[in-house]
Structure 1
Amino acid sequence: MGAASMVKCEKIRCTKFYWLIIFFLIGLTVQAQQSSVFTTSSSIHVIGDVHGAYNEIQKTLTNLGLIDQQNNWSGGTSHFVCLGNIMDKGAATKKVMDLFIKLQTQAEQAGGQFHVILGEHEVMNLKGDRHGLSAEEIAEFSEDETTEQRQKAYQQYIQWHKLTQSEQTQTDFDTKYPVGFFAHQQAFGLSGKYGKWLLELPFIIKINDQLFTHGGLSQNIKLTDLTSLNKQLKSELLSYLKHWDYFLKKGQLGFDIPFEERAAYLKKLIDSPQKRTFMKNNRSLVLSTDGPSSYQGNSQCHPYFEEDQLAEKLQFWEASRLWVGNTSLEHGPSELSTQKSFAQQIVQQRLSEQLMMMNTELSSSKHQTQLWTATITPDGQTNFSNGSLTKQFQPEQAVKRHSRNVYNMSDEEIEQFMKTAEITNMIDTTEGKTKPFKVTMEKDGKVIHGIFKYMDTHPRSNRGRWRNSVNQADRYQYELAAYRLDRLLGIGLVPVTVARNIDGRDGIIQFWVDGLISLLQYNDDKIIYKGICDFNNQVNFLDSFDYLILNTDRNQSNVMFNKNDGQIWFIDHSKSFGTSSRRPKMLKKSNIKVTKAFRTALKNLTSEQLQELSPWLHKKQIQAIMNRRDYLVSGNF
């Protein structure tokens, strides 16, 4: 055998040996996971995101009676649950982790448990995503970083970016990567102290009849036993990290290539099993927005489709409630408050009390954090308090739609504003055949935009004898009827709409929602939908509402979503409210599924309530709504 062949053979043996070690370690790490299901007759204490707030978590644990003056466990057999995101944004993540590592061991020795859930920011740090990393967190590792470590990273930086070594290059490098950055990176690596610890933590656990995870449970999470689910997610994460580490060591990825760009770099490489596995891992559930550490649908998407989905999972796992923490709110320093009314905004329940959201109040000024705690007592009662001040309160019911109105105004306040504010500008639009106006309204220093519609092809058709020609009417009044019906059903997806006369012309003003993108734009520009709410669930919900009001004008140009989070809005209803019970043409092939939550809302709708629509609809149109309601409830339509 020639020398070249021997070298090639040795490379093959080394590569095989490398991957045997990798998969052996993956197996060991996955097998080393603790149980995912616990039972206890002691109290369970729950907090949301910590984000490096060491002083606050120390005070909270002390007030809960879980640690003593020496920061040792004193909670006996109690269970403590941190819902993840213990790092990033704060000043003392390293101290928090060291405290948690110690308390995990001490609590277990005392017969209790100190649970830490893997949150979105834990996964981010493991995969080298430093978007949330604060300067103070980097500085915590400055004494651990060696000169050799920095010099090696500097040389890699120059080579990867093909830079010339110079004083300016060195300055740019030092500015971008302060002292401590590479020690932090190493500590969160596969063999680092904190990397190894994080990889032992679960994504989801159950204590008694309560489920705990960081983000939420999407419909893509399999219904299997929790230990197997954690094993699957951990295996996906470990496989990604091992392959990322492989390409780093091969010099085929730079250490500073963002997570979102790594796959694009590797696409340029010659095909290999490692490359294919990395690409597959890059699309895995654990790293997607549907993974339990990142999913926000339970806390932000409409309950009329999220509630059914969560109920199915709770029933499968024999649980009554899911606790999540991935809903942190950021406020300016003047907004920090310990008042009960503000606390209720921080801790909220949703989806018929199946979901409890343990938000954390983060100030935009540095390191002012309020931690809110829940204590589930042995008799099943749940008490809520501000962890550092022990001020008790009760959570409020979360809004059905996550996005807030402009200026945090209520619907009623926006209605009053749009009825009375001065019209300071009107612009012609080219939308549709009716050519509505975009209007600007100003009052008390506030500016709100709206759309003014005035087309009425069948005036006063809500009165007197019914004419079948009204079934083809285009009336601005129907926008008001759709808005009121939307609110009667508790939907909240039709923008606020009011009647108003402008320059002697009767019409309606509907709140203008900025930053929308249509389904037509998605398709024409081949944009990939990346919203937090399931696309098909949202369109199905729109189809359900369109059938209820018999909207005959739905098309791709008026199916609208927020650009930033992909949440749907229901607009354009001026060609609705016919008297037929047959599906409109565009809904003939739609597989409309009425969710349990929406069916309940429909069942509760009464003829008496619908009389509120009589200023705009004929009694035959109102009866037709009830007829279609019955078909939707029965599922036979």
Structure 2
Amino acid sequence: MNFIQCRILVFLILLTSCFSPVYGKDKKPRQAIEKLSIDGPYLLKADDGSMRAISVDGKGRLLDKHYKSIPTSFSFEVFSDAGERLFPVTIHAVSRPEWKDVQSEKTFVLSDPHANWSCFASLLKAGRVIDADYNWIFGTNQLVIIGDVFDRGVDVLPIYWLIYKLEREAEDAGGKVTFLIGNHETMVLGNDLRYVKKKYTQLADTLGMTYPELWQKSELGHWLRTRNSIQVVGDNLFVHAGLSKEFLDRNYDIPTVNEIVSDGLFLTKKERNADKGSDLSFMFTTYGPIWLSGYGT
């Protein structure tokens, strides 16, 4: 696939959001002076087949349930940070999607929801992608989300779980949901937490983990690790940032790019740059497809 032959369509929808304030270190353990906020569930899978389901309920109570084996058709309810019951989710098999799709009759594209649940859900409802109960009603059409669910807002998990749920519902209807990795996915999972709301680091601290560790072996973490960074739909190429001349000069094929970004997703900046000039290091520079503020012609 020749990148230059593709039209690069990057639809960026700027959603209303707030940056988190800067906090210093608390002198006392955070869990001793602050109540946890609604969050989760984080489904952590172990190598022995067991699972740990971690969430925080509306009363700020930490719920940490262990399963010796993952129940068949495991389902759970998702709640917003405001305490609204949103929708049920059933976990399903996850694998990397094909990098190239046939163009559907309609394609709804958005980007950068940044944990703003009300805006994200409202856009999908207005576009008749989902109904009032957050179910897929877009038929055989396609939804493309070009990254950046993490950071700035307080409803990271509801948005990811809705995308995860809609992916299966769309497939059952003959449609398609595509989520692409954005720079804020690479930031947060690489332990750059500058724009992460305090509720998330507070939960991780309470569990004795870093925030990326909470995702590392989770169901959503595995799902994110198998998402593409570049996707072709018909004659259109979708990418979070853009394709630089330096990128094009390296003559990558799309599947290779997607694999390299996935390989580095949970690495820190230092680890990604351990081998300067390597393909892995290059993908996470300002010339790579995740960070470039521009596009090739």
The whole-number CA distance in structure 2 between the counterparts of 1:106 and 1:68 is 12
Is the Cα contact below 8 Å between 1:94 and 1:137 reproduced in 2?
Answer: no
Q: How many residues align?
A: 202
Deviation at 1:283, TM superposition (A): 6.5
Deviation at 1:103, TM superposition (A): 0.8
Is the Cα contact below 8 Å between 1:187 and 1:194 reproduced in 2?
Answer: no
Deviation at 1:128, TM superposition (A): 1.2
Task: Say which SS state the counterpart of residue 259 (structure 2) adopts.
Answer: helix
Which residue does 2:123 correspond to in 1? 60
Task: Say which SS state the counterpart of residue 297 (structure 1) adopts.
Answer: coil
The whole-number CA distance in structure 2 between the counterparts of 1:48 and 1:208 is 19
Is the Cα contact below 8 Å between 2:152 and 2:197 reproduced in 1?
Answer: yes
The whole-number CA distance in structure 2 between the counterparts of 1:135 and 1:291 is 29
The whole-number CA distance in structure 1 between the counterparts of 2:183 and 2:98 is 21
Which residue does 1:214 correspond to in 2? 240
Is 1:197 matched up with 2:223?
Answer: yes
Deviation at 1:278, TM superposition (A): 3.9
The whole-number CA distance in structure 1 between the counterparts of 2:201 and 2:132 is 28
> Which among 68, 72, 82 is matched to residue 145 of structure 2?
82
The whole-number CA distance in structure 1 between the counterparts of 2:244 and 2:186 is 17
Is the Cα contact below 8 Å between 1:88 and 1:132 reproduced in 2?
Answer: yes
Is the Cα contact below 8 Å between 1:88 and 1:137 reproduced in 2?
Answer: no
Opposite residue 212 of structure 1, the aligned amino acid is: F
Is the Cα contact below 8 Å between 1:84 and 1:118 reproduced in 2?
Answer: yes
Gaps of 5+ in 2: 1-46, 48-93
Alignment of 1:25-36 (within 5 A): 32-36=95-99
Which residue does 1:45 correspond to in 2? 108
Is 1:293 matched up with 2:276?
Answer: no
The whole-number CA distance in structure 1 between the counterparts of 2:273 and 2:121 is 42
Which residue does 1:234 correspond to in 2? 262
Summarize the Cα distance change of 1:68–1:127 in structure 2 as closer, same or farther, 3 Å threshold: same
The whole-number CA distance in structure 2 between the counterparts of 1:279 and 1:186 is 23
The whole-number CA distance in structure 2 between the counterparts of 1:212 and 1:104 is 18
Larger CA Rg, structure 1 vs 2? 1
Summarize the Cα distance change of 1:129–1:225 in structure 2 as closer, same or farther, 3 Å threshold: same
Gaps of 5+ in 1: 1-20, 22-30, 154-181, 245-258, 264-275, 299-309, 312-637
Is the Cα contact below 8 Å between 1:216 and 1:292 reproduced in 2?
Answer: yes
Deviation at 1:226, TM superposition (A): 2.1
Stretch moving more, 226-235 or 46-55:
226-235
Task: Say which SS state the counterpart of residue 212 (structure 1) adopts.
Answer: strand
Is the Cα contact below 8 Å between 2:260 and 2:280 reproduced in 1?
Answer: no
Deviation at 1:34, TM superposition (A): 1.2
The whole-number CA distance in structure 2 between the counterparts of 1:135 and 1:205 is 33
Which residue does 2:251 correspond to in 1? 223
Which residue does 2:159 correspond to in 1? 96
> Which among 98, 103, 122 is matched to residue 185 of structure 2?
122
Is the Cα contact below 8 Å between 2:147 and 2:185 reproduced in 1?
Answer: yes
The whole-number CA distance in structure 2 between the counterparts of 1:43 and 1:282 is 35
Is the Cα contact below 8 Å between 1:87 and 1:121 reproduced in 2?
Answer: yes
Deviation at 1:54, TM superposition (A): 0.6
Is the Cα contact below 8 Å between 2:95 and 2:223 reproduced in 1?
Answer: no
Is 1:185 matched up with 2:212?
Answer: yes
Relative to the length of structure 1, the TM-score reads 0.30
Summarize the Cα distance change of 1:284–1:68 in structure 2 as closer, same or farther, 3 Å threshold: same
Deviation at 1:137, TM superposition (A): 4.4
Task: Say which SS state the counterpart of residue 246 (structure 2) adopts.
Answer: coil
Is the Cα contact below 8 Å between 1:90 and 1:136 reproduced in 2?
Answer: no
Is the Cα contact below 8 Å between 2:146 and 2:180 reproduced in 1?
Answer: yes
The whole-number CA distance in structure 1 between the counterparts of 2:255 and 2:238 is 13
Identity of paired residues, percent?
25
Which residue does 2:3 correspond to in 1? none
Opposite residue 238 of structure 2, the aligned amino acid is: F
Normalized per residue, the structure richer in helix is 1
The whole-number CA distance in structure 2 between the counterparts of 1:51 and 1:94 is 11
More RCO (CA 8 Å, sep 6+): 2
